[in-house]
Each structure stands twice: as C-alpha cells, then as structure tokens.
Chains A and B, each alone.
Chain A
C-alpha cells in the first residue's frame, strides 16, 4: 500500500530562443543560410575543408579592416567568457587571443599553469572538469604535448581552440599566415612557399603545410636533416638541405624559430654554424623570387635563423603584419565557434 505514489511532474517544454539579430548580437555581418563552419572546436587545420578555410579568411579579413579602421568594439561575445588556458609559456599568442576576445566583447580570463606543476598530467582532465563548472564559452588551450588539446576538448562542454599542442598543430598561426600572404599576393593558389628551420619540432610548420597545400600552394621545407622529421616527403612537400637551392623561385620565405635547447650540439652543432647555412640573410634571399616576402611566427632569434636587416626590411618583411592579422584571425575563430548556430526557419 503506497499512499504517496510518485508524482510525475511534467517537465517544462523546451522552447528554443528566437534567433534574431537582437538575441544573437549579429550586426557586423549576416549569417549565411547554411552555417559554413560546422565544427565545435578548432583543433587543427587538418580538419578543415578549403571552403571553411576561405570562409575563415574572409571573415578574418573583414575584422582586419575593421581593426585597422579603429572601428568600435563588437558585442558578439557579450556575456560570454573566454578562458585562455596556457600550460606552456606564451606572450604573443595569449595576448592576441585576449585582445581578440575583448574586441568581441567577451570577458577574458587568463590561466597560466606553470609547467612544473603539470609534470603529472592528470590535471588536464581535472582542469577540464573545473572549467566546465565555470561555464566558459570558449577555451584557448596551449600545451607542450601533442594531442593534449584534443584530449581536453573531449572533456569540456564549450568550444576549444588549439593555441598550439606540442609539435602537432597551431591552426590560428597558419590562418594568420595565410591571411597575411593573401593580402599581399591576392591568392594562395600556385604560390611556392619555403618553410625554413626546425620543421621536426614545429607545430607552425605542420599547420602551415596542411593549410597551404589545401589552398593550392606548393610547399618546400629547408632544414638540416636532423631537423626534418621521418617520412617528411609523405606530407607532399619537397625537402631541401641546401637553403640556396631550396629558395630558388619561392614567393614566400617562412622562417621557423629554432629553440635554444636544440641548437647546442644535439640537433645542430652550434648557432654559428646554423646561421652560416640556414640563417636568412640577403645573400641567400636573392635566390628566391625578386618579390619574395619574408615571414616569421615569432619570437625571432636575430642572428640565429634570421639576419636583423632582413627581418626589419619594410619592403620584404611581413613579420609585423602577421601579428596584426593574428588578432583578426582569432576574432574570426572565436566568432564562428561561439556564435549561435543558425536554425533554419521552419
């Protein structure tokens, strides 16, 4: 005999919010009829199609123009929280995302997790649980282990942008590089791009290779054999160990940073020797096309991988513009990932 029978309460029906310009805060540009960016996270360039890349670049360019014209802040991410979670030191990428978030009207928090305290990496899943409880809307993660950002993205319920994971990918860097190139060369199609330096340990190199090839450019990598990873040519690139030969006919010369700890004896014998054979100076640069442009993801080791005069050459160097485009690209990425998905009118 059970008098207090279970009471079934009808759960409140779910009423989706109306998707209007007022509720979504969309004003800067219109949503296309079909949402052109169907991904929940941005973990790598490998996951993107040419159309998606083009869409991101177009949108980034729009923000770049807006920023350059010193346009007002957007409210696309108003009441939304962006968390920059950096397990590895970064100034430039973190600041760029921070600024991008602010320009879109988001509340931005930076969490720097000291490398020493994550030696035992359990924390990455624990951290995800903590972040879930904070109801972040977007998370930018950098980690020194390849795949760590993907692992985290599987455990959190917000959009995750890979801010660089080990030697794997750094998608926003490749996008900002592509945008910079496109603004100068019009298109990526048919360009010959040389990536020079520590390809083996470079996530920038990998993301750039995937993006440039997807968009129809040809890629060469130039480095001493110890800094070329196994089966490199299987990625569809041409490998050169002689920098002058490798630069022949190139439209873009993209230098990569050489980590200090890899310079002294283990991968290359010395900084001195490295600069002699693989540092970019005017002498080597003249083997590239006369209008070849120079890029570097920063921070630069002047006199190691690049000569100061070349780096500062206003006619040839796009290094400063890369930083500028970085903010615009990150605005576009945050925008598409946090924007409410378009609901087709029924």
Chain B
C-alpha cells in the first residue's frame, strides 16, 4: 500500500466542481493510499506532510483521469486485436483511468456470466477501471430483450447493442420502456441499416469518384428522428453514441430543449476529420459512422461548444493489420483511439472552441455522471484516479508507438499538442511517460 503522496506544482482542474487552481509549490493534491485527502491551491502552505512522497508536476495540469465511455477491448472472442490487458495499458498511456467496454464481444455480454468474466479479467489485470455495457437484446442481434434488472445488479452500466443499431422500432420502444423500471440508459448506434447496408463511406462526390458505395447522412438522422419519437412516447432515457452529422446535432439540441431525457457523444474523428481523410482508399479512415463532410464536422464542433454534445468518447475499435490491409470495401470499420483521445480533445481547446475545463468535462465528469460511475472527479475521500499532462507539449501521433495491439489510427502522423505525463489509478501510478 502506498503512503501519502503530495502532488505539487500542478494546475489542478476539476470540471465537476469548477476548481481550476494555478500551479504553485504550496498547492496541489494530497493522496493517501487509494484516496484523495486534500485538494487546493494552498494545502501545503505549511509544507508537505512529513514522510509524504513528493511529486513535482512542474506546472503540468492535474485532472481526474479520463473516463472513456466507448471502447472495444475485443475480449472475449477477438483477443488477437486487443484484450483487457493490452487495452488497459493503452488506456493508461492515453491518460484514461476508466473505460466502458462494448458488449458485442464473442460471446456477447447478454448475461451476467460474461459480465462477471470481464470484471474478473479487469480485476486480475488491475490497471484502469473497466466498466461494461450489456447488450439491449440477446446476442446483440435478436429482438429478445436481455435481463436488464439482473444485469444492472451485476454491474452493467447501461445497455447497447454496440456497433449495431437496435433497428426494430418495437424492440427499441419496449427496451426503453422496460428500462424505466431500473432507470437504465439505452445507448444507440444511430444508423438505419436498411439505408446504410453495403455502404463503406460518406455518400457524395468523393465516394462517387472512388467508385465506393456510399452511406448517406440520412441513415443516421432517420434513426435519431425515430428514436427521439420513441423516447417521447416511452419517457425512456436514451443516449445517441458517436453522432456525426449536422442534422443529428440539431435534432438532439431540439429534443433537449423539449425536455426529453436525451444525451449524446461524439468521437475525435468526427470533430477533427472529414471524409477527405479517406483519400485514396485509406482503410484506416474507414469508420462507422463514416467520416462526414466538412459542414458536418463544423456542426459537431459547434455542438460540443454549446453543450448539445455531452461527451467525447475515443470509440476505440482496434483492428489488426489483416482486417485493414484489404480493398476498402472488404476492410473492417474502426480505429484505435485511446491513445490519441486527450491530444485530440485538447485540439478543441487550442483551436479556441472550448475552455480547457469544459473540454475536460466531456471526457471526465460528464460521462461519469451520465453512466452513474463513481469516477471522473476530484474530491476529498474520492478515489485517487488522476492524470497529469502537459497540454501544450507538441507531438506527432505515431500509431507504431501505440501500446494497443492494433495500430489502426486515421490520425497517423498528425501533429498535435498534449502529452500524458503520468496516469494514476487508486493512488497507484500505472503509467509514466518516458522522459
């Protein structure tokens, strides 16, 4: 068990409480074992406690560890792409201290035993905190609703069919209704499969030039429209995952204004890239939903800025080389995202779309609040889950250096600012940047 540790010279930002204390030698965070003992700009005014280890943060930012509400650790079933250990290490390297994994594994997380398997693996690995979704329907593809009550008791934080939509309107409306009994959240991949099927990238000029079958934006907006109507009908709690179009933002903005219990998130590709990243058949830019147009990208940024979009998730979807080194139409969808999440979120700050604290809220307090997770904020007595990072440090995203088993990043070679210096979970340092 670790003893007291004093983190000094850190700019401490806690988006949940609004704390933003400048870096001084007299202030910072004091932890004891797994817990936070004190936070503030002058807690060490009379010196650090005797016997405490001192970590000099040298002016870096200290915030709650990132909470990534959408990752795929591919375990059980696809451990050659990622497993709970490699995924956890990637999270740690990305400054992420809590993740929520998707349930469309093989087998899917549709009963408590698979959920318990994931929890046990995460306990054994003992790096970041791994939470899990359960599916909405059995096997993530049927119309049979899972045992939501039992799964929630067993620890499922919310329900989603992961990378596929709950396409059947009756099934979704029943799920939304049934979930009310347990105040459970339904997370939707908003894409109408009968419209998107066969498509591999955003429909439009580039797809036409490349000769690739397109996915129109309407595949997403139709589904969001329909789902919002079902939310209104049932009164259920609904979250649209990785929204990517301007119209989706507008619809959710309106739904929120109308008082529906609706939230949403997006992922860095949708605010930092557009369809042109596909270039000449770059399969690393083959994502689901597809990268959209520049207008959409700007609307996503605006949605993040005005709070319509609650959270940013990495949408970490590792794919091995064999799944990507294929003709575009045959390649798998998805990108590894954990290790670029922080730097890309900070782009919103450097580009002056969001204040630092507001940007951090979308990857810490807000997802934790939505999913009711006991993480994502700094408070006395709370778990010492923290990340220390330099928000200005220039670097290049180099997937070859990723800790993740998979290196499929559409941000390959991108110049960014922001570097994780240290990741701490329950008071224990699980990652330190090579100096």
Contacts and interface: CB of A to CB of B under 8 A. Distances in A.
A168 B211 contact: yes
Contacts of A168: 210-212
B226 interface: no
Contacts of A46: 209
Interface in A164-186: 165-169
A146 B322 contact: no
Nearest to B323: A122
Nearest to B212: A146
Contact of A169 (B203, B211, B327, B330): B211
B214 interface: yes
Chain B interface category by residue count: 20 to 34
B210 A121 contact: no
Nearest to B213: A167
Interface string A120-151: 11101100000000000000000101111011
Contacts of B325: 122, 125, 151
Given A145-B329, A146-B329, A229 B207 contact: yes
Interface in B293-346: 322, 325-330
Interface string A186-202: 00000000000000000
B33 interface: no
Interface string A281-312: 00000000000000000000000000000000
A203 interface: yes
A230 B205 contact: yes
A231 interface: yes
B295 to A, nearest CB: 13
For A143, A165, A166, which residue has the most chain B Cβ atoms within 10 angstroms? A166
Contacts of A147: 210-212, 280-281, 327-329
Contacts of A121: 326-327, 330
B22 interface: no
Contacts of A120: 330
B211 A234 contact: no
Contacts of A31: none
B216 interface: yes
B204 interface: yes
A230 B214 contact: yes
A230 B281 contact: no
A235 interface: yes
A167 B207 CA distance: 10
B208 interface: yes
A234 B280 contact: no
Interface string B213-224: 010100000000
Contact of B205 (A124, A165, A166, A235): A235
A150 B325 CA distance: 12
Contact of B204 (A143, A145, A148, A231): A231
A206 interface: yes
B208 A146 contact: no
A114 interface: no
Interface of B: 203-205, 207-212, 214, 216, 280-281, 322, 325-330
Interface of A: 46, 120-122, 124-125, 143, 145-148, 150-151, 165-169, 203, 206, 229-232, 234-235
Given A147-B329, A235-B205, 11 more contacts: A124-B326, A143-B327, A147-B327, A151-B325, A166-B327, A167-B211, A167-B212, A206-B211, A230-B204, A230-B207, A231-B203
21 contacts: A122-B325, A124-B326, A145-B330, A146-B212, A146-B281, A146-B329, A147-B210, A147-B212, A147-B329, A150-B280, A151-B326, A165-B211, A166-B327, A167-B211, A168-B210, A169-B211, A230-B204, A230-B208, A230-B216, A231-B208, A232-B208
**A-B residue pairs, 4 tightest by C-beta:** A168-B211, A147-B281, A167-B211, A145-B327
